[in-house]
Structure 1
Amino acid sequence: MRVPLSWLREYVDLPTTETGRDVQAKLVAAGLEVETVEQLGAGLTGPLVVGEVLTIEELEGFKKPIRFCTVDVGTANGTGLPQEIVCGARNFAVGDKVVVVLPGAVLPGDFAIAARKTYGKVSHGMICSSDELGMGSDGDGIIVLPPEYEPGTDAIELLELVDEVLDIAVTPDRGYCLSMRGVARETATAYGLPLRDPALLDVPGPNTEGHPVEVADPFGCDRFTARTVSGLNPEARSPVWLRRRLQKAGMRPISLAVDITNYVMLELGQPLHAYDRSRVQGALGVRRAEPGEKLTTLDGVRRTLDPEDLVITDERGVIGLAGVMGGADTEIADAVPDQETGRVTGTTEVVIEAAHFDPIAIARAARRHKLPSEASKRFERGVDPLAAPAAAQRTVDLLVLLAGGTAGAGVTEVISPSAPHTVAMPAGHPAEVAGVAYDRETVVRRLQQVGCDVYGQDDLVVTVPSWRPDLRAPNDLAEEVIRLEGYENLPSTLPKPPAGRGLTGRQRLHRRIGRALAGAGYTEALNYPFISEQVLDQLALAADDPARRVVTLVNPLSDEEPALRTTLLPGLLGALRRNDGRGSHDLALFETGLVFHPSADQAAAGERLPVDHRPTDEQLAAVTAALPVQPRHAAVVLAGAREQAGWWGKGRPADWADAIEAARLIAHESGAELLVRAGQYGPWHPGRCAELAVVVDGEERVVGHAGELHPRVLKTLGLPARTCAMEIDLDAVEAAGTSAVEAPRIATFPVATQDVALVVDAGVPAADVEAVLREGAGELLESVRLFDVFTGEQLGEGRKSLAYALRFRAPDRTLTVEEASAARDAAVALAAERTGAVLRGA
Structure 2
Amino acid sequence: MRVPVSWLTEHLETDENYSAEQIAEAFVRVGLEVEEVTPLGPVTGPVVVGRVAEIEELTEFKKPIRYCMVEVAEADDHDDVIEGEPRVRGIVCGATNFAEGDLVVVALPGAVLPGGFSIAARKTYGRVSNGMICSARELGLGDEHSGILVLPSGEAGAGDDAVELLGLDESVIELSITPDRGYAFSIRGLARELACAFDIDYRDPAAIDAPGAEGDAFSVTVEHETDCPRFVARRVTGVDPTAPTPFWIRRRLMLAGVRSISLAVDVTNYVMLEMGQPMHAFDTPSIKGGLVVRRAKPGEKLTTLDDTVRELDPDDIVIADETGPVSLAGVMGGASTEVNADSTDILLEAAVWDPASIARTVRRHKLPSEASKRFERHVDANIPPMALERAARLLRDFADGSIKPGRTDEGGVTALPTVTMQLGLPDRVAGTNYERGATVRRLQQIGCTTEVFTGDDGKSYVVAQPPTWRHDLAEPADLVEEVLRLEGYDTIPTVLPAARPGTGTTASQRRRRSVGRALAEAGYVEVLPFPFVAPSVWDSLGLAPEDSRRRTVSIVNPLEAERSELATTLLPGLLDALVRNVSRGMRDIALFHIGQVTLPKAQQVPVPEVGVAGRPSDAEVASLHAALPQQPVHTAVVLTGNRERAGWWGPGVRASWSDAVRAAEIVAEAAGVELTVKAGELAPWHPGRCAQLLVGDLAVGYAGELHPKVIDKLGLPARTCAMELKLDGLPLVERRPAPSPSPYPPVLLDVALVVDATVPVAEVADTLRGGGGDLLEELNLFDVFTGEQVGEGKRSLAYSLRFRAPDRTLTVEEATAARDTAVAAAASRFGAALRA
Q: Assess same fold via TM > 0.5.
A: yes
Is the 8 Å Cα contact of residues 416 and 471 (structure 2) preserved in structure 1?
no
State the alpha-carbon separation in 1 of the partners of residues 17 and 37 from structure 2: 16
Q: Residues 465, 618 of structure 1: CA spacing in aligned structure 2 closer, same or farther, 3 A cutoff?
A: farther
Q: Secondary structure at the match of 1:167?
A: strand
Match of 1:739 in 2: 734
In 2, Cα distance between equivalents of 1:454 and 1:679: 76
CA distance in 2, matches of 1:214, 1:233: 30
The answer to whether the 8 A contact 1:670-1:741 is kept is: no
CA contact (8 A) 2:135 2:145 kept: no
CA contact (8 A) 1:312 1:319 kept: yes
Establish whether residue 33 from structure 1 lines up as the match of residue 33 from structure 2: yes
CA distance in 2, matches of 1:176, 1:327: 27
Distance of aligned partners of 1:583 and 1:470 in 2 relative to their CA distance in 1, 3 Å threshold = closer
Q: Quick one: which amino acid aligns to residue 168 of structure 1?
A: L
Tell me the amino acid that sits aligned with residue 739 of structure 1. E
Structure 1 residue 618: Cα displacement: 6.8
SS in 2 for 1:386: coil
* Alignment match of 1:106 (pick from 99, 103, 111): 111
The 8 Å contact of residues 691 and 703 in structure 2, kept in 1 or not, is answered as yes
CA apart distance, 1:223 = 1.2
Give percent identity, aligned residues only. Answer: 50
Secondary structure at the residue paired with 1:410? coil
Evaluate the alpha carbon distance shift between residue 361 and residue 615 of structure 1 in structure 2; reply closer, same or farther with a 3 A threshold: farther
Residue 306 (structure 1) aligned to one of 291, 313, 316: 313
Residue 89 of structure 2 aligns with which residue?
Answer: 85
Give the Å deviation of 1:423: 1.2
Preserved CA contact (<8 Å) 1:59 1:67: yes
The 3 A distance-change label for structure 1 pair 329 and 644 is: closer
**Aligned match for 2:507, one of 505, 529, 553:** 505
2:703 is the counterpart of 1:706 = yes
C-alpha separation between the residues in 2 aligned to 1:838 and 1:140? Answer: 97
* Alpha-carbon separation, structure 1, partners of 2:532 and 2:732: 30
The aligned amino acid for 2:723 is M
| 1:199 pairs with 2:206 | yes
Q: Residue 352 of structure 1: SS of its match in structure 2?
A: strand
Match of 2:463 in 1: 461
Cα separation, 2, equivalents of 1:155 and 1:581: 56
What is the aligned partner in structure 2 of residue 340 from structure 1? none
After TM superposition, the structure 1 stretch with the greater mean CA deviation from structure 2, 246-255 or 185-194, is 185-194
**1:393 maps onto 2:389 in alignment:** yes
Q: 2: distance between equivalents of 1:350 and 1:581?
A: 61
Cα offset, 1:708, TM superposition: 4.9
Matched, 1:349 2:345: yes
CA contact (8 A) 1:673 1:737 kept: no
- In 2, distance between residues paired with 1:719 and 1:800? 33
CA contact (8 A) 2:281 2:338 kept: yes
Query: What is the identity, as a one-letter code, of the residue corresponding to 2:539?
Result: D
- CA distance in 1 between counterparts of 2:524 and 2:124 reads 76
What is the letter of the counterpart of residue 372 of structure 1? P
Residues 1:631 and 2:628 are matched in the alignment: no
Post-superposition shift, 1:770? 9.6
Moved more, 511-520 or 78-87: 78-87
Aligned in 2, Cα 1:303/1:187: closer, same or farther, shift over 3 Å? Answer: same
2:457 is matched with which residue? none
Alpha-carbon offset, residue 467 of structure 1:
1.5
Select between 203-212 and 447-456 the one with higher mean Cα deviation: 203-212
Partner of 2:370: 374
Offset at 1:384?
A: 1.0
Cα distance, 1:467–1:670 mapped onto 2, change above 3 Å: same
Aligned pair in 2 of structure 1 residues 612, 4: CA closer, same or farther (>3 Å)?
A: farther
Contact 2:700–2:725, Cα closer than 8 Å, also in 1: yes
Deviations 1:7-42 (A, max 9, x none): 334322442643333333333333333344433353
- Amino acid in structure 2 at the alignment position of 1:693: L
**Which aligned pairs between 1:275-424 and structure 2 lie closer than 5 A?**
275-334=282-341, 346-415=342-411, 418-424=414-420
Where structure 2 has 5 or more consecutive residues not aligned to the other structure, the ranges are: 454-459
Give the AA of the match of 2:724: E
Query: 1:431-446 maps to which residues of 2 (within 5 A)?
Result: 431-446=427-442
Instruction: Note if contact 1:691-1:702 (Cα within 8 Å) is conserved in structure 2.
Output: yes
- The code of the aligned residue for 1:368 comes to R
**TM-superposed deviation, 1:273:** 0.7
Q: Is residue 47–residue 104 contact of structure 1 (8 Å, CA) maintained in 2?
A: no
| Residue correspondences, number | 811
Equivalent residue of 1:692, what SS?
A: strand
Q: How far off its partner does 1:575 sit?
A: 5.9
Distance 1:30 1:61, change over 3 A: same
Q: Which amino acid aligns with 1:366?
A: V
Matched residue SS, 2:496: coil
* CA gap 1:359/1:840 in 2 versus in 1, 3 angstroms: same
Distance change >3 Å, CA 401–CA 687, structure 1 → 2: closer
Over the residues paired in the alignment, what is the CA RMSD in angstroms? Answer: 5.1
1:386 deviates by 0.7
From the superposition, tell whether residues 264 and 756 of structure 1 become closer, same or farther in structure 2 (CA, over 3 Å).
closer
d(CA) in 2 for partners of 1:470 and 1:662?
Answer: 55
* Counterpart for residue 682 of structure 2: 681
Residues 55, 69 of structure 2: 8 Å contact kept? yes
SS at match of 1:667: helix
Residues in 1 aligned to 2:689 and 2:76: alpha-carbon distance in whole angstroms: 98
Partner of residue 730, structure 1: 727
Distance 2:154 2:208 in 1: 32
Contact 2:600 2:630 in 1 (8 A): yes
Deviation at 1:101, TM superposition (A): 4.1
Cα distance in structure 2, aligned partners of 1:790 and 1:260: 91
- Taking the aligned partners of 1:357 and 1:3, their CA distance within structure 2 comes to 25
Q: Is the Cα contact below 8 Å between 2:42 and 2:168 reproduced in 1? A: no
Structure 1 counterpart of 2:299, one-letter code: G
Write the letter of the residue equivalent to 2:315: E
Report the residue type matching 1:38 in the other structure.
T
Partner residue of 1:343?
A: none
Question: Does the alignment pair 1:241 with 2:248?
Answer: yes
Query: 1:337 maps to what in 2?
Result: none
Tell which deviates more after alignment, 161-170 or 265-274: 161-170
- Contact 2:230/2:351 (CA < 8 Å) preserved in 1? yes
Asked if 2 retains the 8 angstrom alpha-carbon contact of 1:102 and 1:114, the reply is no
Query: Could you tell me whether the CA contact under 8 Å between 1:85 and 1:122 is conserved in 2?
Result: no
How far off is 1:675 after superposition? 4.7
User: Who is 2:227 aligned against?
Assistant: 220
How far 1:232 moved relative to its partner?
2.1
Contact 1:600 1:626 in 2 (8 A): no
Q: Which amino acid aligns with 1:703?
A: V
Q: What one-letter code is carried by the residue in structure 1 that aligns with 2:394?
A: L
Determine helix, strand or coil for the equivalent of 2:250: helix
Unaligned ranges ≥5, structure 1: 335-345
> Match of 1:692, as an amino acid?
L
Greater Cα offset, 571-580 or 623-632: 571-580
Write the letter of the residue equivalent to 1:99.
Answer: V
| Partner Cα distance (1:748, 1:555) in 2 | 63
Normalised by the length of structure 2, the TM-score is 0.81
Select the residue among 538, 543, 558 that pairs with 2:545.
Answer: 543
Q: Is the contact between residue 791 and residue 800 of structure 1 (CA under 8 Å) also seen in structure 2?
A: yes
Q: Which residue is equivalent to 2:425?
A: 429
Answer yes or no: is 1:514 the counterpart of 2:516. Answer: yes
Question: Which of these residues, 562, 567, 570, is aligned with residue 569 of structure 2?
Answer: 567
Letter in 2 for 1:511: R
Q: Secondary structure at the match of 2:180?
A: helix
Aligned to 2:6: 6
Q: Residues 449, 652 of structure 1: CA spacing in aligned structure 2 closer, same or farther, 3 A cutoff?
A: closer
1:670 aligns with 2:666: no
The superposition leaves residues 639-691 of structure 1 with CA deviations (integer Å, 9 ceiling, x where unpaired) of 67778999999998766565445444433443445454443322344455443
**Matching residue of 2:456:** none
User: In the superposition, relative to structure 1, how do residues 637 and 212 fare at CA in structure 2: closer, same or farther (>3 Å)?
Assistant: closer
Alpha-carbon distance between aligned partners in 1 of 2:640 and 2:391, rounded to the nearest angstrom: 76
Post-superposition Cα deviations, 1:766-804, rounded to whole Å, max 9, x if no partner, equal 8889999999x9x99999989899999999999999999
Q: Is the 8 A contact 2:230 2:413 kept in 1?
A: no
Residues 487 and 668 from structure 1, CA distance in 2 versus in 1: closer, same or farther, beyond 3 angstroms? closer
Q: Secondary structure at the match of 2:404?
A: strand
Deviation larger for 497-506 or 353-362: 497-506
Indicate conservation of the 8 Å contact 2:50/2:70, yes or no: no
Letter in 1 for 2:667: I
Q: Is the 8 A contact 1:35 1:169 kept in 2?
A: yes
